[in-house]
Structure 1
Amino acid sequence: MKRLKSVIGLFIVMSLTQASLAATERVKPALLQYTPEFILQQVLIKKNISFRDDVAMPAIYLESKTSLQQFQNAIESQWNFRPAVFTNAYAVKNNEIYILDEAKYYDESKRCMDDSLAHELTHYVQVKYKNYDLNDESLEWDAIEVQTWFRDNFCKF
Structure 2
Amino acid sequence: MSAFGKDGVTGLYETHLPVARLERAIDFYENRLGLERAYTNDERRVAFFWVGGKQSGMLGLWETGTAPLGMRLHFAFHASEEWLLDGCSRLRDAGISPLGFHGEAVEEPVVIGWVPAMMLYFKDPDGHSLEALHVLPQPPDRAFGIRSLTAWRQYAS
Asked whether the two chains share a fold, i.e. TM above 0.5, the reply is no
Structure with greater contact order relative to length (CA < 8 Å, sep ≥ 6): 1
Name which one, 1 or 2, has greater alpha-carbon Rg: 1
TM-score by length of 1: 0.24
Of Structure 1 and Structure 2, the greater strand share is in: 2
TM-score by length of 2: 0.24
